[in-house]
Amino acid sequence: MPKIKINLINDPSIAYEKVEVDCYNDEMNLIPLNSNPFQNFRLPTNYIVNNAKILGISNLILNKNNLCAINNLVFNPRNNDKIFDKSENNISFDKKNLYFNIVYEEKIKKGIFLGAHWNYGHWMFNHLARLYYCQLDYKDNVIIVNNSIDNDKFKILKYFNISDDKIKIIKKGTMLNVEKLIIPQMPWHSLNGQTWWAPNSFNFIRKQIGSSLVSHNECNTNIFITRSTARWRKVTNENRLFDIAKNYNFELIDIGNLSVDEQINLGKKTRNLISPFGANSNFFINLPKGAKFIELAPPINSMNVSGSFSIASEIEYLQIKGIPVKQEGVSDLDADYTIDENEFMKKIQTFCDLV
């Protein structure tokens, strides 16, 4: 089995050619997710790589000299989970060196690298949203993803007029050679301890799936998303909360059982949404403009992004924080928690748009 050495560097402008993003305007600029008096914005940039090599289920892309950069190209360069999928066992470490064992090798002429992630929110807001920065180029290129996520999730690409025959899914152990590769800017990512995002990338996605074209006044469905089958961050009194919510015509939904099309269609009918914190909260992207979203959450600081993302999507947002249940060996971020039931009922009555 041939092995290739990965020469990892920090600066992508050394490994790849910087180019301007498609259809640039000021709304495409990256801004700090949290207020930073020393940094106002960054200009987005795309990269072109001639004779690129994409390594399996990862975000590792080599140039012709086997140089590879990840800063500005992955969600978090300090987290291996955001660099390569745990199932990709052909990546190995030897002291300070990084290698990839080539099991299969394929070749295409040109493509746009989106990559993918097993978490649906990261797939949409890190990877799919890259299309925001290549709105002209993606229509004439193969879209390159990987099978770190259920292939059904790629069905959302049809809303961007990308047909199945234009999607290349890289499998484990495969090195994909691309004669001319475009790597678009990642709209939400961490770099040097600062989290950056492009708020208008959310409206770009919403316009493509049609949710921003619907008014909540046209909708009458109220949704309560269950997290009862999740491993972490369960609401311990979820059943009692739903007993309250169903008095206001909320329906209990497990979105994990819905296809991409079913999620989008249900979201566009939803007037009010209640969801526990976690990947299920990303359902908000499907809601019509002006819909109400109550998020139930443990007392967290990191990754508390639903409020900013919802506001950018023109959705009204409110968070109810619960009391964590202490569990040995479980971090605060992953802890189960309890929501005050009286507060919950009052927020439904005063915040939700009930009809």
Q: Percentage of the chain with pLDDT > 70?
A: 98
Domain with CATH 3.40.50 in the chain: 210-351
Q: Percentage of the chain with pLDDT > 90?
A: 82
CB-side neighbour CA atoms (13 Å) of 184: 31
Burial class (CB in 10 A: 0-12, 13-18, 19+), 288: buried
SS3 284: helix
Say if residue 342's pLDDT is above 70.
yes
pLDDT at 328: 76
Say if residue 327's pLDDT is above 80.
no
- Over the stretch 60-72, which tens digit does the pLDDT of each residue have? 999 999 999 999 9
Confidence of residue 299 (pLDDT cuts 50, 70, 90): confident
Contact 68, 15 (CB under 8 A): yes
Measured between alpha carbons, how far is 254 from 113 in angstroms, rounded to an integer? 31
Contact 168, 111 (CB under 8 A): yes
- Over the stretch 106-164, which tens digit does the pLDDT of each residue have? 999 999 999 999 999 999 999 999 999 999 989 889 999 999 999 999 999 999 999 99
Say if residue 37's pLDDT is above 60.
no
- Over the stretch 240-251, which tens digit does the pLDDT of each residue have? 999 999 999 999
pLDDT at 36: 64
Measured between alpha carbons, how far is 296 from 151 in angstroms, rounded to an integer? 29
pLDDT at 38: 63
State which fold the 210-351 domain adopts. Answer: Rossmann fold (3.40.50)
Question: pTM here?
Answer: 0.93
Q: E strands of 27-113, at which residues?
A: 31-32, 46-55, 61-62, 67-69, 91-94, 97-101, 104-113
Alpha helices per DSSP H over the chain? 12-15, 120-122, 200-209, 238-245, 260-267, 306-312, 341-351
